[in-house]
Amino acid sequence: MDSVLPALYILAAAGFILALKWMSSPATARRGVIAGEAGMLLAVIGTLLRYEVVNYQWILIAFFLGSAVGVPIAYLTPMTAVPQRTAISHAFGALAAALIGTAEYYRHTPHGFTMGALVLETLLGFLTFTASLMAFGKLQELLPTRPMTYRGQNIVNLSLFGLAVVIGVALVISPEQTWMFPIFMTLSLLFGILLIIPIGGADMPTVIALLNSYAGLSASAMGFVLDNNLLIIAGALDGSSGLILSIIMSRAMNRSFTNILFGAFGQLHASAAQATARPVHSATPEEAAEILDSARTVIVVPGYGMAVAQAQHKLRELFDALTRRGVDVKFAIHPVAGRMPGHMNVLLAEADVPYDKLFEMDEINSEFPMADVALIIGANDVVNPAAQTDKTSPIAGMPILEAYKARTVMVIKRSMSPGFAGIDNDLYYMDKTLMLFGDAKAVLTSIVKELGAVPRAVENGNGDRQLFHDVSTFTTRTAEKKV
């Protein structure tokens, strides 16, 4: 057994590393998931073979109870709720680490380095638990998605966290002072709640990645407490990958961690946006079908509105219909589109959209000026030209998909309400922009239907199609929508 356990742990660690490597590409993501699952299975088997396990009865009970909860969640959770499910998974994992740390403290009262690791484990575990619950509530809209702030909030939060750290250090110095541990737990739990309340829905993708990092670091610290090398490795991989992803997401929004955690982004400009009313061009699905049929190149920009409407399969039908007509269709993916990292990639993969048609922001932006149509489906802040043209905008400097440079822009949206950032989108009021108001799935269904009834676009003598890209002449009406 002494030789089998290290071998199992080494294989498990290799599975985790390969999973991270392969999941970095859509083409190998499925292989990465299998590698991660295999690694976790080996880790569980190895752990159950350790000498510390003296009774399997409670383990089996927990196994069946966990399976009874986990399997239905996996099968019944819709793709639109994957961000919420991810947040609640972080909460459960962090709570498990924190409770194990609590049990180890009262069982053994460790000293020195081990006690320091235990304090870190429980601090991160408890605050990640409540913070993830708050993130879940905002994503599920059980809580207001807007930032909830009050005067002096940042001072209160930092003071609370500082007090928890001071008590944690005191516990490391004097572990036998057990009366301090419940206070330490309470402060950690409370800080997790107050950490997320002032963060708006626009920042949830970064917050989820950051909470993933916290949960991983908590698990890694737990490995030191339990003297489990595999936990140290797995937690470090989880923590570092979550941190790196958070950094990538922050750069994608041109924001710092400090601004995300303490900036209350998305609140100050919401009321101002609601007070404005500007004319916009609107179109019908029939007109949209004619424009798309006459295009040579179309770039689709999916956003959270596509996820809410579950419109990815209808979008695939539109892709197929246009491709059969010789239209070059590409998909532009912004790093923070949706409510979690890779949200749009997951939905489009579910609809079997070819991987080679998905392009990241840096790859696709140079192609927008040559595109006949930019079709935006439920995206808002990530295509707002104010990020580049208005230095006073809250999103000034944020990298965006430059859809406004396309010859014609079509936007499928339920209403003119602002996005998560709480600000108006100048793109909607440009002369080249057509608004198609309605549920994304219903609008796409109508476009696909009308596209089947539209004759092929007539080509001119040069072999080019006659393009209907002049919106001001193509549509003769305007619609004034209050934001």
Q: Give, for 433, the enclosing helix (H) or strand (E).
A: strand 433-437
Sheet holding 358-360, edge to edge: 358-360, 328-333, 297-302, 373-377, 408-413, 433-437
Taking CA atoms, 76 is separated from 81, 95, 137, 139, 347, in Å, by 10, 23, 19, 17, 16
Identify the bridge partners of residue 331 per DSSP, sorted by sequence position.
300, 358
Residues 6 or more apart whose Cβ sits within 8 Å of residue 331? 299, 300, 301, 302, 344, 348, 353, 357, 358, 359
| Catalytic annotation, pick one of 203, 372, 381, 424 | 381
d(CA 404, CA 198): 32
Task: Give yes or no: 2 in active site.
Answer: no
d(CA 396, CA 108): 53
Q: Rounded to a whole number, what is the largest CA-CA distance in the chain?
A: 89
Q: Give, for 376, the enclosing helix (H) or strand (E).
A: strand 373-377
Q: 3-class DSSP state for residue 25? A: coil
What is the residue whose two structure tokens read 């609590």?
102
In degrees and rounded to multiples of 5, residue 143 shows phi and psi of -115, 155
Contact by Cβ (8 Å): 119, 172: yes
In degrees and rounded to multiples of 5, residue 360 shows phi and psi of -75, 165
End-to-end CA distance of the chain: 67
d(CA 411, CA 379): 8
d(CA 223, CA 104): 12
Q: Give, for 329, the enclosing helix (H) or strand (E).
A: strand 328-333
Tokens representing residue 158 in the block:
């930092």
d(CA 250, CA 399): 10
d(CA 13, CA 233): 7
Instruction: Catalogue the active-site residues.
Output: 381
